Amino acid sequence: MMCSPVRLILPRAPEAHRSTVMPGISDAAPSVRGVEPYRVPFLFDRSRAPIYRLVNVGSETVRGVTVTLIGAGVMPANQPIALAPTEALEVVIRGHDLARSSAIVVRWLRESGEDYVWRTAF
């Protein structure tokens, strides 16, 4: 019995979307020069554990802010909320040695509608 070779066929990008840098590969810019960086607009205040504060230290209101706990520990679920500059979201997180066994993931939307995710440790 003879096996036929497997061939991978990738879809081709339409002519208008093909890159001039690496044809057929990517339309991404070859460098990040000229790209304005976006800083994470939050401060994660750990000073009053087990009550933690996520403070919006940015210059714009962020929407759909959620916090998710990864790892050992317990945290009540929170509904997505909007945070204006200087506003804070307080969450209660309990667990043994959170710094070694857990992290949080913060998700938010900018005013432009862009979706962001930030993972940080205790």
CA separation for the pair 90, 68 (Å, rounded): 13
- pLDDT grade, residue 3 (50/70/90)? low
In Å, how far are 32, 38, 90, 111 from 58, measured between CA atoms?
22, 10, 17, 12
Tokens 């096996």 sit at which residue?
Answer: 3
pLDDT attached to residue 57: 98
Q: 0.75 cut: is pTM over it?
A: no
Give the model confidence (pLDDT) of 44-93 as tens digits. Answer: 999 999 999 999 999 999 999 999 999 999 999 989 999 999 999 999 99
Least confident range of 30-34, 41-45, 49-53: 30-34
Rounded mean pLDDT of 101-120? Answer: 96
Question: What phi and psi values does residue 36 have, to the nearest 5 degrees?
Answer: -75, 120
Full set of structural domains in the chain with CATH: 39-121 (2.60.40.1230)
Residue 39's pLDDT band, with cuts at 50, 70 and 90, is very high
pLDDT on residue 41? 97
